[in-house]
A and B are shown apart, each in its own frame.
Chain A
Amino acid sequence: MSATAEATVLITHDVGLHARPSVKFTKLAKSFAADVEIALAANGPWFDAKSIVKVMAAKAPKGTVLHIRANGDGADDAIRALIELVQRDFDEDAGHVRSA
C-alpha cells in the first residue's frame, strides 16, 4: 500500500529542532518505511527527515511551522508519530537552558 501524506506542526521547544530533538526526530523517521521530508515553508526546500545532518541543516528555531511530508508505506502513521513527538516537545523536561 502506498500513500502520500503531509501536515504541519508548530515547534514549541525552547531552542527549536536542535541536537537532542533532532536525534529523536530522525530515529523515529527512520522507523518508518515511507520516505519522509521536512521543510520550513510549504514550497520547500525539502530536507530528508531520516538524515540528522539534513535536519540540523534546516536550522528550525522555536516558533517555526514545520512542514512534514511522507510518501510510501505507512506514510500516515509516520506523519502522525512525528507530529506527536514535536507536540510533546520531544519528551524533554523544562529548563534545558543553563546559565553560566
Chain B
Amino acid sequence: MEKLKKSLTSFLVPVLSVLLAFLIGAIIMVALGANPGKAMASLFKGAFGTTAAIGTTLNKATPLIFTALCACFAYKCGVYNLGGEGQFLFGATMGFVVVHCLKLTGIVGIIVCILVGAIAGGIWGMIPGILKITRGLNEMIISIMLNYVATLFMGVIYTSWIRDTNMPQTPAVDTSLMLSKVIPSMRFTWSFILAVVVGLVMYYCLYWTSSGFKLRAVGLNMTASRFNGFPVKRYILLSFIISGAIAGMGGAADLLGTQYRLINGYGNGYGFDGVAMALIGQLHPIATVIVAIFFAALRVGSTSMQVATGVPTSVSDIIQALVIVFSVAGLALTKLPEFEALRLRLFHKNAKEGK
C-alpha cells in the first residue's frame, strides 16, 4: 500500500508539472495575443497529427533518448555526468573517422561505426570518472570541460582534416552505411529501435541483476554501500564508462541514421537536455525514454505552432524548462517532513491503518 502510494506520487508529480507548465505556456500565448487552444492544437497536430509527423517526432527523439539514458545511468550510481554531449559527439566523430578512413561499407561498416562510437564515448566518459575516484575532482566540471573539447575536436575534423571541398563540413557517409527506415512512410530509422532496446536492456540490468542492484545501492547511499563491502569506486568508474558508451553509441547511430555528416552545431544542447529528461523521468530508464519522446514532440510540434499561430518556438523551450522546474521542486516538496505530516492529517484513516 505504502509502495503504491509512493509510486503514485512519483507519477502524479511529473504529470501535474506538465499540466502546470502548459498552463503557464497558455498564459504566455494569451499575452502574445494568440489563441492558446489553437496554438496547443497545432502543436500536438504537428507532433502526432499524421503518421509522417509521428515518424519525424520519433526521429527527433532518437539522439535525445541516448543522451537521456546516458545521464540516467550515471545518476543511478549517484554521480553527475553532465558530459553527455561531449561523449555523444566524440562517439559520432570517432565513428565517422574510422569508417571514413578505412572506407568501410555495408553492415560491417555500420557495426564497426557503432562499436567505435560506443568505445570512444566510453573513453570520454572514463576521464571524469578516473579523475573523480583518484583525485576527488568534481565530475560535473570535468565532464562539462570535456564537452567543449569534444565539440572543438569535431570542429578540427570538419574544418581541416576531413573537409568536404569548400563547405565547413565533412562529406556524407557512404550510402550503404545509412540506416534504413523501419517503416517506409515514416522518417524514423533503426537507430530509434536501437535507442529503445538500449533503454530496455538498461532497465533489465539495473532492476533485475545483482550488479544493477549494487549500482543503485551505491547511488542511494555511498557510505552504507562501502560498509557493505561493495567496491564503490569500481562502480562509479563503471557507471561513467557505460554512461559514456551509451551516449557515444547514440552519436554514432544518429550519425548513420539522420545526420550522415559532421557539421557545425551538431549535437548542441543534447547533453543538458538529456539530463533534464532523465530527471523528469525520475531516473527510470523506460520513463526516461517516454519523456524524451514527449520532449521531441514538443520540439517538432512547436515549429508547426509557429507557422500556424505565430507563437515563437521558444515558448515550447520555456514549457520544457518549466516542466523540470516544477517536477524537481514538486518531488523535493513531497519529501519534506511537513508534507508527510500534512498527508497524514488529510488521510487520517490511512494513517491509523499504517500504524
Partners in one complex: no
B residues in contact (CB < 8 Å) with A: none
